[in-house]
Structures are given as structure tokens and as C-alpha cells.
Structure 1
């Protein structure tokens, strides 16, 4: 085991030495004077910086790898290759994710601006989504939603409807858990209506109307929920035949009566047929709490 460990450490050291040497060569080449071969100089330096970055990355030397990739990106910037410049900034950003989230995001945003300027909106959307995911993972939900919205907008510029819709559903999901029910309802309703326009989307529409219906209940107005359900049935004549439609109506009735036990039983019975995911459980618990509070307020 010790020999294997020594061998591994030796290989790691060798990679570091090779990478360090490449960085030195690249910097020397960059500083050399050349009146006629500027492009070749930067391209050769780019190759050395990129290879060094790969070696550092193999060693999980994330900071050094990121710095090497930034240098590689700058070489492409000198050669006016905006796409490669942006892509290597993002490669550096992914390395920085392991050591500095702040620097990682800064690089991603710099690359995104470059890509938007050159009309590469779809690639920009991809990296904007990565920024949103970083914020989401770190628990900064407001910032995550902001960048998800930006990503959806960039997809729409390129008419990438499916990609945009997928991100919007993520936004609706997150907004609902934040208590921004009306904003979430609007997204679910819009996507449900869009889904009805093509055959394969009709099943999805039912789910989005169902989610919007739950969110209407979270607003604490059963009458408003019933009106919404009537509207959904007008848009999709099959919706009133679904178990979800009856479930939501039954919830509204129990809530209006202020009957917490009845409401709990309705939820429990439906869960045995259609298992609730964590999102629905969270919101149904909110509805149950609202119903309890309603009873308390009436007693006062």
C-alpha cells in the first residue's frame, strides 16, 4: 500500500513539474516580441496554458488549474476568438467552484456577457443555468431564481421553447416553496395552456393545473380555488374527469367547513392512490395549518 501511495504521489509531483514548466514556457512566449506572428504566438501559448491546466486538474490543484485556464482564455481573447475565450473562462469557473464560489460566479458571468455580445444565446443560457444552480446549492434561492429567469429568457431568444419551459417549471417549484403562490400559479397555468396545444402535452397539462390548484388552496380561499378549477375545466374538458379535480374540490369543501379532520382524511386517502412528492406534502401541510388557523380565528 505504501509503495502504491508513493507511486501516486510521484506521478502527481511529475505532473506538477511538467505543468509548471509549461506555464513558464507560455509566459516567456507571451512576452516575446513579434511583429508578424502574433496569432501563432498566442495560439502556442494557449496550447501550453491549456495543457498545464489539464495537468493541474488531474492533480485536483483547482486554483492553479483555474489560473492556467484563465491564461488560456486570455490568449484566445488576444486572437479574437470569443467563443473559445468564453468557454475557457467557464472551464476556469468550474475549477474555482471547488475553492471559491465568488470567483467561479464572476468568471461565469464574464463569459455569459461575452457570449451574449456575440449572439451565442443558447450557450450563454447553459452557463446562466449553471450560475443559478450554484446559488441554489448554496441556499441563496432569490439569486438562484433570478439567474434561472435569465437562462429561460436566453433560451426564448433562440426559440428553445422546451428548454425554457423546463427552467420555468423549476422557477415555479421554487417560488411556491418561498410562499410566492400567485407568481408560481401564473407560471403553471401558462405552461399548462401551452401544453394543451400539442397532443403529447395534454397529460402534462393536467399535472400543472393540479399544482396550480394546490397553490390556490395555499392562498386560503376555497371559492377562488373552485373558480380556478372551473376555468381549467373549460380549457381542458378532460380535467373534471380526473381524480385530481375531485381531490381539489373535496379539499376546498373541507377547508370551507373548517373541518381539519376531514381535510386530513381526504389527503391521506388520496396519498394511498397517488403518492405525494415532497413539494406537494410541504404545500398540503401549509393548507392544513391554514385550516387550523381559520378555526382559531372563528373561535376568537
Structure 2
């Protein structure tokens, strides 16, 4: 390990000299500097010095930009992000963002979307920031849509919907769930997921407290998918709606327990349903 690290430091020192070199007639040695930064990064990786390896790749990217080699600069930023992921999520995001900026400028929206999705996943799984997660997935979805990569776009839109609901942006969540359902209804591979999208959108509608709009939405779901009327998701949503309309917390709780016996509710649904239940309980207290 120590040998690899010493080797990396030697490459790095030489790279700095080459990067700052200016000849008598304005010549430079930036190409050599870029190669040496790459060698330094590789040696740091062998020494498992991930932060230092990422920093070396960033230096290489900066040199590549001076050489107007933007595609190579983007690759260097992506290499840096892979190193930073092992030690510093925020640095990984910063490196990815710089790569994404270049990819967008170059019109490479598919690659931009893929790397933007990685940013979203870091915010989602490591930094745990719902707002930034939502925004990152939204950008990725937009770029996937631009490239007509509909399956990837819809996967990101569903993430946007989940986080929007978590942040109590219910209308935004409803729009995304229903848009994905609309895009999926004529696809034999994705049509089976409609009942899940309808249930999720319906729960978000119950969170808004607008029962008239919720009833209208349920009617539309039944028209969009004739098999929805026989699905457990429909029976569950209808039972929840009826309990809300009757302002009956006991019936609401019973519907949840009954559904959960066969289909385990995930934490996302459980959290939203608890909000609806608490709202019903408060309405009952106000009424009495």
C-alpha cells in the first residue's frame, strides 16, 4: 500500500509541474499533465486512498477542460465520482453534477439522465434528503423523457410522486401517479401495475381531504382499467373512501387491517394513511 501511495504522490507532483509549465513560445504540457493525473489516480486507487484518487481525477478533468476536451473531462468527473462514493457522498454528487453539465451541453441526454439518477440515489440512500432527492429524480425523468426512454422516465416519475407525497405535495404526487398510469394503460408489460398507481394516487387524494375530487378520480380509474373493479386495491380504496365520507375512524382502521392481512402495507402508505386517520379523528372531535 505504501509503495502505491508513494508512487501516486510522485505522479501527482510531476503532474502539477507539467500543468503549470509554460514554454518560451507559449507552449504547454497539459497533455502530459492529464496523463500523469490519471496515473496518480490509479495508484491512489491501488492504495485504497479513495479521496485522493478522486481529487486526482478532478485535477485531470480541469486540465481536459483547458484542452477543450470536454468529453474526456466528463469521463474524468465520472471516474472521480466513483472514488468519492466510497468515502464522501457530497463530493461524489459534485463530481457527477459537473459531468452532467457537460453531458447536457453536448446533447447527451440519455447519459445525463443516467448520471442524474445516480445523484438522486445518493441523496435518497446516503444523505437522506427528500427534497433534493425529488428534484434530482425529476431532472432525470425530464431527460429520459427527452430521449423517449419511457420506462426509465416513468420509474423516475414514480420516485418523484412518492417523495412529493412524503413532503405533503399531494397534488404533485397525484399528477405523477396518474400520468404514469395513463402512459402504462396500453402497454401489456406495465398494465398490471395500474391498480397500484390508482391506489397510491387515491390515497394521496384522501390526504387532500377533497372527497368529491377523490370520487371523480376513482370513477376515472374504473374507466381506464375495467379490471380495477375486481382488484383488492379497488376494494381497499373504496372502503377507505366510504370511511372518510362517513367520518368513521373505526371503519377506516378496519379497512387497513383487513388489507394488511393479505398485502403488507409499505411504510410510505402507512404514513399517509395515518395522516388521513388523524384528520378523521380530529374531525370527529370537532363534531362532538
TM-score, normalising length from structure 2? 0.90
Distance (Å, rounded) in 1 between the aligned partners of 2:25 and 2:143: 40
Distance (Å, rounded) in 1 between the aligned partners of 2:225 and 2:66: 56
Deviation at 1:296, TM superposition (A): 0.9
Is 1:241 the counterpart of 2:243? The answer is no
Structure 1, residues 223-277: CA drift from partner, whole Å, max 9, x if none?
4322211111111111112121121111111222222122211110111121111
Distance (Å, rounded) in 1 between the aligned partners of 2:117 and 2:168: 23
Distance (Å, rounded) in 2 between the aligned partners of 1:122 and 1:243: 37
For residue 224 of structure 1, the aligned residue among 201, 213, 219 is 213
**Superposition pairs for residues 82-231 of structure 1, below 5 Å?**
82-97=70-85, 101-136=89-124, 137-231=126-220
SS in 2 for 1:200: coil
SS in 1 for 2:226: coil
Distance (Å, rounded) in 1 between the aligned partners of 2:67 and 2:123: 33
Name the structure 1 match of 2:47. Answer: 59
Distance of aligned partners of 1:35 and 1:121 in 2 relative to their CA distance in 1, 3 Å threshold: farther
Structure 1: gaps of 5 or more residues: 1-11
Distance (Å, rounded) in 2 between the aligned partners of 1:106 and 1:199: 39
Deviation at 1:145, TM superposition (A): 1.5
TM-score, normalising length from structure 1? 0.86
SS in 1 for 2:265: coil
Tell me if structure 1 keeps the 8 A contact 2:131–2:167. no
Distance (Å, rounded) in 1 between the aligned partners of 2:152 and 2:165: 20
Aligned-pair RMSD on alpha carbons?
A: 2.3
Larger C-alpha radius of gyration, 1 or 2?
A: 1
Structure 2: gaps of 5 or more residues: none
Query: In the comparison of the two structures, how many residue pairs are matched?
Result: 286
SS in 2 for 1:238: helix
Tell me if structure 2 keeps the 8 A contact 1:93–1:104. yes
Deviates more, 1:122-131 or 1:265-274: 122-131
